[in-house]
Chain A
C-alpha cells in the first residue's frame, strides 16, 4: 500500500483494532462495541494523547473518557478489587497514558507493515476538549469496553510539523 492510501480512517481503524485487542488481553474485557464514528471535537473529557511522528505521517492518538470512566479504565488495567479505594489522579493519569501507549505501539507496528514509519512520543494527559486547527483533521470512535465508555481519537496534522 502506498503512503497516499493511508487515510485518517485507516489510522482510526488501526486504533480501534488495537483497543479491542488491548481490552481482551490487558483488561480482560471481551465485550467491545463501536458505538459511533464522528468528526466533531469531543466535549470536555480527560484524554491521554501520544504522538506518532515520521516523514510520512504526523498523528496523535488519544484515549478519552469522563473522570469516572478514566478511573474505571485504570482500576481495570490494574485488576483492582471493587472494595479497593479509588486511585489518585496521578495514578489514573499514568494508567490511561499507558493504555494510550500500548494502543499506539500496536498501531505503529500495523502501520510499519504498510511501510509507514513513525516514532512514538511520551504520553501526555489533558483535561478539556480538542481544538482542531485548519491544518488538522480529527476523527473519533466512541466505543464501549464492557461498561466503560471510551472515545478513541486520531488527530492528523497535515502541515507536516511535529504536533505539540
Chain B
C-alpha cells in the first residue's frame, strides 16, 4: 500500500514516517508533499491508498485539498494529522469526507487505532 504524507514541515513528515514504522506500517511505501497543491498533483499521478495531511499549510491547506479532491471526484482515503483539534474542525473534516483527525502530538497507538481499519 502507498501512503502520502502531506505537511509543510520536513520535521513533521519525518516524525509521521517514524510513527508509521513504530505503529507497524513500515512496510508500506511512503511519499511526501509539502503542501496541498503538491499533494493534489501527487495524488493524481500516483494514486495513494491513504493520505495523511496537515491542516494548516501555505499554498493550499489541508481542507482546501480535501475539497479539491471532492470537486474533482477523486476518491482516496484521507485523514488529517494536525496540531489543531477543535470540535468545529473535527466536524468540518468529517463533513468534507475525512476519515479521522489525529492531533499532534500523537503516539503509535493512536496511529494503529485510526489507520488500522484503512490499512488492514
Among B14, B56, B83, chain A packs the most CB atoms within 10 A around the CB of B83
A-B contacts, 25 of them at CB < 8 A, read A21-B105, A26-B105, A77-B11, A78-B11, A78-B14, A91-B10, A94-B9, A95-B9, A95-B11, A98-B9, A98-B12, A101-B9, A101-B56, A101-B83, A101-B104, A102-B83, A105-B104, A108-B84, A108-B86, A109-B84, A109-B86, A109-B103, A112-B88, A120-B84, A122-B57
A62 within 8 A of B: no
Q: Could you give, for residues 64-96 of chain A, a 1 whenever the CB lies within 8 Å of some chain B CB and a 0 otherwise? A: 000000000010011100000000000100110
CB-CB under 8 A from B8, the residues of chain A are 122
Q: How far is the CB of A98 from chain B (nearest CB, A)?
A: 5
- Contact among A97, A105, A106, A112 for B9, CB-based, below 8 A: A97
CB-CB under 8 A from B28, the residues of chain A are none
Tell me the interface secondary structure of chain B in the complex.
Answer: loop
B residues at A contact (CB < 8 Å): 8-12, 14-15, 18, 56-58, 82-88, 103-107
CB-CB under 8 A from A112, the residues of chain B are 86-88
Q: Which residue of A lies closest to B57 (CB)?
A: A122
A105 touches B85 (CB 8 A): yes
- Contact among B84, B85, B104 for A26, CB-based, below 8 A: B104
Q: Which residue of A lies closest to B10 (CB)?
A: A94
A104 touches B18 (CB 8 A): no
